[in-house]
Structure 1
Amino acid sequence: MKPTATALALALSASAVFAQDKVTIEFAYPYSHLFDVTYQAMMPAFEAAHPDIEVKFRATYESYEDGTNTILREAVSGNLPDVTMQGLNRQQILVEKGIARSLAPFIAKEADFETEGYHQAMLSLSTFDDAVFGLPFSVSLPVGYYNMDILKAGGIESLPTTWDEVIAACETMKANGVQNPVFWGWNITGNWFMQALMWSQDKAIVENGHVTLDSPEALAALEQMQAIFTKCDMQNLDWKAALASFSAGEIGMMFWSTSALGAVERSQGDFDLVTGPFPGMDETPRGLPAGGNAAMLTSTSEDPRVQEAAWAWLKFITSGEGAAEVAKTTGYMPPNKAANEIILADFYQQNPNKQTAVDQLPLLRDWLAYPGDNGLAITQVIYDGIERIVTGEAADMKALQEELVEEVADLLPNG
C-alpha cells in the first residue's frame, strides 16, 4: 500500500523534530596519528547507543602541552569544547583555574559505577581535593622497540636491560654498517624521559614544590643521556621522522612510549619487531612515570541536555567497551578494570608486544607537573637544555645542570 500524503508529511515532520532534538557536543583530543583510528573504531557503537547525540571533533592537539595551552586560550575567549582530553600531568592547572568541572554530580547518579570498571585506583589519577575531575582514558609506560633483524645481524640475541648494554649494542650495529642505531625519545611530551631516568633512581623531579634538578640523580640523568646520544651517534629527529625511519628498517632500537605501538605496527616494514622493558641505569628501573591522558568536562553550557550528552560521551570512551578499543588500536593500557579483566582477558596473551608495558605496571609512578602558572615554561626550559645535549652544544653536564636550576628557579612561585 502506498503511503498517503498525510503519512508522508507526518514522517517528514517527525524527522525534522528528531533532527532538532539531536544534541551536538564538541570534543578535542591530542595526537591524531595515534588516536584517529581509536575514535573511528568507537563511533559506530556510540552512535547506535546514542542516536540523539552528535559528536563534533575539533582539530587535534599536536601534544599535551599544545592541548593545555589551547584550553587556557579558549577559556579566555569563551570557546571551550564540551569534553577535552588532557595529559595526566596537565589536569591540575585546569582544576585550579576552574576550567574543568567536577564529575561528582554525574558519578552520583550512576548506580553501578565501580562495577563498570571505574575503580578507586583509576579515579585517583584524576582526583583533586577529594573530587574527581576527569576519567583516565589511557595509561602508558616507556618501552624499547627492537628491529630484531638488525640486532641479530650483529650477533645480538638478547634485549639490553641497561643503558650500558644499549650503548654496547649501538657500537656493534655501527660496526655492522648501521648509520643510526638508536632513537631515544628525549623530545617526548612533558620531559617524560627525563622523569623516567629520575624515577629509575627512585627520585621524583618535584618534591614539596621544589624541582629537584639540583640533585645528584638529576646530574646522573643528564650524564646518562649524554652517553646515549654521543656514543650511539644519535640523530636529532622529531618523532614522526624517527617513526618513519624505524618503520623503514633503518634504526635498530627505538625508545618511546608504548602508546605508539599500534602506529608502529601499522607502518612497520618487513622485519621482526619485538618490544622490551625500559632499560635501567646499571640496574632494573625502580620506577617509571605513568603517561597517558584523561577525559575532562569543560563545557560552559548550562543546558542539562548538553551536559548529559557530554557526560554520556565522556563515560563511553572511558568505559570497558571504549577502553578496549584503546588497547586494540594503540599500545596504551586501559585503566578501566572491565576492559582489562573481561573484554581483554586473552588479548595480551595473543599480543605479546603489548604485554611488555603491562609487565612494568609495578613500576608505575606519578608523571609530575611543575608547580605554578609557569609549569609549561619550565617544561620548555628542560626541553631546550636536553636538546643542547643532543646537538652537542652542551658538553659539560654539571654546568648545564647549574644553568637549568637557575632558569627553573626564576619560574617557580617560591623561587
Structure 2
Amino acid sequence: MKFLHRIAAAAALASVATLAAAAPTEIVIQYPYGEFFDETHKQIAAEFAKLHPNIKVTFRAAYDSYEEGTQKVLREAITKQLPDVTFQGLNRIRILVDRKVAVPLDGYIKAEKNFATQGFHQAMFDIGTAGGKVYALPFAISLPVVYYNLDLVKRAGGDPDKLPSTWDGVFALAKNVRGLGGELNGVTMAWDITGNWLWQAPVLSQGGSMLSADEKKVAFDGPAGEFAIDLYSRLVQEGRMPNLSQPDSRAAFAAGKTGVHITSTSDLAKVTSMVGGKFALKTGVFPGVKEGSGRLPAGGNLGVVVSTDPKKREAAWEVLKFWTGPIGASIVARTTGYMPPNKVANEIYLKDFYAQNPNNYTAVKQLPLLTRWYAFPGENGLKITDVIKDHLQTIVSGKRAAEPRAVLKDMAHDVQQLLPR
C-alpha cells in the first residue's frame, strides 16, 4: 500500500511538473493613453496569441500621459513592481537609460536572422538608441499636421485643393473663417501636447535646436526660437486663438466650430470618429518648414523591455518584436492616426489603406523631415518641460501675448538654471 502511495505521489509530482513546464510565460504590458491605444493593443494581443500560445500577455491600466508613465516606471523600479514591457514617449527613453531601468536590446537584435525582411531598419533602431546601444523599438510615430474643416474653408473662399503651405496663408484663411460669424474659431493649436511637442515643432521647423551641441546652453533663444515664440503670439493676437486645452480644442474642431486645427496625426482616428460626417475633413502638411534645414519632431511612443527577470526577457523580446513588426505596425495604422515606422507594414500591408485614406498619408509624406523629439538632460529634464509650458501659457492666456520676445528671454533664463552644470 505504501508503495502504491509513493507511486501515486510520484505521478502527481510528475503531473504538476509537466503542467508547470507547459504553463505559458506571462508578460505584463503597460502603455499610455488608453483612449487612443486600448483597441490597438487588444487587437495586436489577439494576433500574437495565435502564434505564441506559450506566452500570455496581460495589461495593466493605461498611463494617463507620457509623463505619468515615466514617473510611474521610475517609482516601480525602486519598489520592484515593474511590468515586463512598457510603452513610453519617444522623448523619455533617455531618463530610463540614465536610471538603468531599460534593458539593452542589441544582443536580441544581433541574434535575429533576416530581421530587415520583417521591416526593421536602422532608422527604427536610431530612435531608441542612447549611448550607442538600442534600448527601445518605436511603436507608433506621429508628426504635426493641420486639420481643415473643408466646409468652412469653402465658405471662407478657400480652395480645398490648394490648402496653405505658409503660416501667412493659414492666418489669412483663419481670418476669413472668423468673418463668417457665428462665433467660429479661425485657428487653434494643441499647444499643450505633452513634452512641449508643439513648441519644439516650430523651432525645429526653422532649423533650430533646443540646446547647444554640448547640451550646456539653451539654444532655442536664437532666430528659430524667435520665430516660434512670435508664432504663438500671432496665434493669439492675429488668429484670435481661444485658450483651450488639447481635448477642448479637439472637441471644438470636431463640432464644426473651428476652421483650422494644428495637432498630431495621433488624433486622426479619434477626430474622424468625432466628426462623424458632419463636415468634410482634410489634413495638410505642417506649414512653413524651412527648406533644407527644417525638421519636425517625431512624436509617439516606443516599447521598452524593463523586466527584472532574466528568464522572462526572452519572452518580452518576442512580444516587443511582434508589437513593432509588420502585423502589429499595420494594426497601429488602421486603428489610430499614428504611422508605423516598420517598412514592410507601410510598403506592403498598408499600401491600399493609404490609397483609401489619404488623410493618414499626409504624415507619411513628411517622413523625410523627421527628427528626434528632444529630451532635456539631467535630473531636471521633466521639470524643464513644465517650465516651458508655464511660459507658453502666459502667451496663450493672453497675459503676455503682446511681449513674446520677453517671454522667450525669461523662458531661456529659467531653463538655463535647470540644466546640469
Question: TM-score, normalization: structure 1?
Answer: 0.91
Report the alpha carbon displacement of residue 283 of structure 1 after superposing the two structures with TM: 7.8
Decide whether the 8 Å contact of 2:176 with 2:186 is kept in 1.
Answer: no
Aligned equivalents of 1:115, 1:282: Cα separation in 2: 34
Q: Which moved more, 1:147-156 or 1:378-387?
A: 147-156
Aligned equivalents of 2:212, 2:341: Cα separation in 1: 26
Correspondence for 1:392 among 392, 395, 398: 398
Correspondence for 2:167 among 145, 163, 166: 163
Correspondence for 2:84 among 82, 85, 92: 82
Residues 281 and 103 (structure 1 numbering): CA distance in 2 closer, same or farther, change over 3 Å? closer
What secondary structure, in the 3-state scheme, does the structure 2 residue paired with 1:27 have?
strand
User: Any gaps of 5 or more consecutive residues in structure 1?
Assistant: 1-9
Correspondence for 2:179 among 149, 169, 175: 175
Aligned equivalents of 1:344, 1:360: Cα separation in 2: 17
What secondary structure, in the 3-state scheme, does the structure 2 residue paired with 1:299 have?
coil
Aligned equivalents of 2:342, 2:133: Cα separation in 1: 19
The residue number in structure 1 matching 2:8 is none
Aligned equivalents of 1:153, 1:144: Cα separation in 2: 18
Identity %: 46
Residues 285 and 268 (structure 1 numbering): CA distance in 2 closer, same or farther, change over 3 Å? farther
What secondary structure, in the 3-state scheme, does the structure 1 residue paired with 2:244 have?
coil
Aligned equivalents of 2:250, 2:409: Cα separation in 1: 33
| 1:120-171 CA distance string (max 9 Å, x none) | 1211111223221111112211000111011111211231222222111121
Decide whether the 8 Å contact of 1:318 with 1:336 is kept in 2.
Answer: yes
The residue number in structure 2 matching 1:149 is 151
Q: Which moved more, 1:374-383 or 1:344-353?
A: 344-353
Report the alpha carbon displacement of residue 316 of structure 1 after superposing the two structures with TM: 0.8
Correspondence for 1:259 among 263, 266, 284: 266
Aligned equivalents of 1:242, 1:315: Cα separation in 2: 36
Within 5 A, what are the aligned runs for 1:14-413? Answer: 17=19, 21-157=23-159, 158-177=162-181, 178-208=183-213, 209=215, 210-269=217-276, 270-280=278-288, 286-302=294-310, 304=311, 306-394=312-400, 395-413=402-420
Q: Which 4+ stretches in 1 moved above 6 angstroms?
A: 281-285
What secondary structure, in the 3-state scheme, does the structure 1 residue paired with 2:109 have?
helix
Q: Which moved more, 1:362-371 or 1:104-113?
A: 104-113
Aligned equivalents of 2:420, 2:371: Cα separation in 1: 24
What secondary structure, in the 3-state scheme, does the structure 1 residue paired with 2:35 have?
helix
What secondary structure, in the 3-state scheme, does the structure 2 residue paired with 1:115 have?
helix
Q: Which moved more, 1:69-78 or 1:92-101?
A: 69-78
Q: Which moved more, 1:341-350 or 1:251-260?
A: 341-350
Report the alpha carbon displacement of residue 404 of structure 1 after superposing the two structures with TM: 1.0
What secondary structure, in the 3-state scheme, does the structure 1 residue paired with 2:151 have?
helix
- Tell me the amino acid that sits aligned with residue 301 of structure 1: D
- Tell me the amino acid that sits aligned with residue 191 of structure 1: N
Aligned equivalents of 2:371, 2:221: Cα separation in 1: 21
- Tell me the amino acid that sits aligned with residue 197 of structure 1: P
Report the alpha carbon displacement of residue 216 of structure 1 after superposing the two structures with TM: 2.5
| 1:21-56 CA distance string (max 9 Å, x none) | 122221111111211121122122111112232222
- Tell me the amino acid that sits aligned with residue 185 of structure 1: A
User: Any gaps of 5 or more consecutive residues in structure 2?
Assistant: 1-11
Q: Which moved more, 1:102-111 or 1:353-362?
A: 102-111
Decide whether the 8 Å contact of 2:299 with 2:373 is kept in 1.
Answer: yes
Residues 221 and 104 (structure 1 numbering): CA distance in 2 closer, same or farther, change over 3 Å? same
Aligned equivalents of 2:117, 2:136: Cα separation in 1: 18
The residue number in structure 2 matching 1:3 is none
Decide whether the 8 Å contact of 2:146 with 2:263 is kept in 1.
Answer: yes
| 1:83-114 CA distance string (max 9 Å, x none) | 01111111111111110001123223322222
Q: CA RMSD in A?
A: 2.2
- Tell me the amino acid that sits aligned with residue 123 of structure 2: A
- Tell me the amino acid that sits aligned with residue 168 of structure 2: D
- Tell me the amino acid that sits aligned with residue 113 of structure 1: F
Report the alpha carbon displacement of residue 174 of structure 1 after superposing the two structures with TM: 1.3
Aligned equivalents of 1:347, 1:411: Cα separation in 2: 45
| 1:393-414 CA distance string (max 9 Å, x none) | 1131222122112211111002
What secondary structure, in the 3-state scheme, does the structure 2 residue paired with 1:252 have?
strand
Aligned equivalents of 1:36, 1:142: Cα separation in 2: 22
Report the alpha carbon displacement of residue 229 of structure 1 after superposing the two structures with TM: 1.9
Aligned equivalents of 1:300, 1:294: Cα separation in 2: 19
- Tell me the amino acid that sits aligned with residue 41 of structure 1: Q
Aligned equivalents of 1:162, 1:285: Cα separation in 2: 16
| 1:163-190 CA distance string (max 9 Å, x none) | 2221111211111014322221211111
